[in-house]
């Protein structure tokens, strides 16, 4: 399985792009500014998209993706997410005000269809088993466990302390890579509580429950604080292999 990190930053300004992953060239997970790394041919090859939640750093480039693909593909691309997320996209992005409604345009074959995939459900998408796992963020959010039958990875989405993610991952047969957020340094624990993100200390406390021992890749680090957050994660997780995730890298599982 090939996992392209198109974007994984907590913001822009330090050369990072915001969250978007591509799996095997066919599946897009989230559509933040990382989508900008794709060529037209890359975009045409996308078969399906799954989104973790509505926040713009994960969805803004659905708008530009639709615009670029409009008139170029002869099929509709399903966009999967929990029903609250899809309703949010309908109400606030594809509403004819902020952007044209590409779930209805072009009329004969819309670019996107919105397909509910709720926490706890699993579906075969672009040849992969994709399982949604509810997490704890300021808006309804879910992470994903993605399995090709031989190897699997999980992506937390945006979340703070929660038991459900770790319990759900323990129930899966394998986990070969874990992509998990740590948005802020320990010093900003108050902000983590307000915005419902992990800081290294909270992440380490939760991760003690994880029975798998995959390499851990830290995403969504606040711009300018990337090194400090990674160092704190390494110190807090001495028994884990911890890497900083950067936009533009490819993980081969
Ligand atoms: Zn968010
Ligand atoms: Zn985010």
pLDDT digits (tens, 9 = 90+) for 31-47: 999 999 999 999 999 99
The CATH number of whichever domain residue 24 belongs to comes to 3.60.15.10
Number of domains the chain is built from: 1
Give the range of the structural domain holding residue 119, as residue numbers without chain letter. Answer: 2-252
Q: What angle do CA 41, 111, 26 make, to 5 degrees?
A: 45
Ligand at shortest distance from the CA of 10: 2
- Cβ(7)–Cβ(35) below 8 Å: yes
Q: Residues near 41 by Cβ (< 8 Å), separated by ≥ 6?
A: none
CA 109–ligand 2 middle distance (angstroms): 31
CA 137–ligand 1 middle distance (angstroms): 7
Quote the mean pLDDT of the chain: 97
CA 52–ligand 2 middle distance (angstroms): 9
Q: Residues near 67 by Cβ (< 8 Å), separated by ≥ 6?
A: 102
Ligand at shortest distance from the CA of 58: 2
Confidence category of residue 13, pLDDT binned at 50, 70, 90: very high
CA 32–ligand 2 middle distance (angstroms): 9
In terms of Cα–Cα distance, which of 142, 137, 138 is closest to 123?
A: 142
What dihedral angle (degrees, nearest 10) is formed by the CA atoms of 227, 164, 21, 126?
160
Percent of the chain exceeding pLDDT 70 equals 100
**Each residue of 97-114: pLDDT tens digit?**
999 999 999 999 999 999
59 phi/psi in degrees, rounded to 5: -130, -15
Residues measured by CB to lie within 5 Å of ligand 2, the ion: 57, 158
What one-character DSSP code corresponds to residue 221?
P
């Amino acid at each position: 399985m090939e996992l392209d990190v198109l974007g994984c930053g907590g913001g822009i300004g330090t050369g990072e792009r915001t969250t978007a992953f591509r799996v095997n060239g066919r599946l897009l997970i989230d559509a933040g500014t990382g989508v900008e790394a794709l060529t037209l041919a890359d975009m045409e090859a996308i078969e399906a998209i799954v989104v973790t939640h509505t926040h713009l750093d994960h969805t803004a480039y659905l708008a530009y993706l639709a615009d670029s693909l409009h008139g170029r593909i002869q099929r509709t691309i399903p966009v999967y997410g929990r029903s609250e997320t899809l309703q949010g996209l309908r109400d606030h992005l594809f509403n004819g005000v902020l952007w044209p409604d590409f779930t209805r345009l072009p009329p004969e074959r819309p670019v996107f269809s919105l397909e509910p995939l709720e926490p706890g459900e699993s579906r075969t998408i672009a040849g992969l088993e994709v399982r949604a796992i509810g997490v704890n963020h300021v808006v309804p959010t879910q992470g994903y466990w993605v399995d090709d039958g031989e190897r699997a990875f999980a992506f937390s989405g945006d979340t703070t302390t929660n038991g459900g993610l770790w319990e759900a991952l323990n129930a899966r047969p394998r986990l070969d890579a874990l992509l998990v957020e740590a948005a802020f340094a320990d010093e900003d624990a108050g902000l983590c509580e307000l915005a419902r993100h992990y800081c290294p200390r909270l992440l380490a406390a939760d991760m003690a429950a994880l029975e798998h021992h995959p390499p851990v890749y830290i995403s969504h680090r606040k711009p300018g604080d990337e090194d400090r957050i990674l160092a704190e994660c390494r110190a807090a997780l001495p028994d884990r292999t911890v890497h900083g995730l950067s936009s533009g890298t490819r993980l081969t599982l």
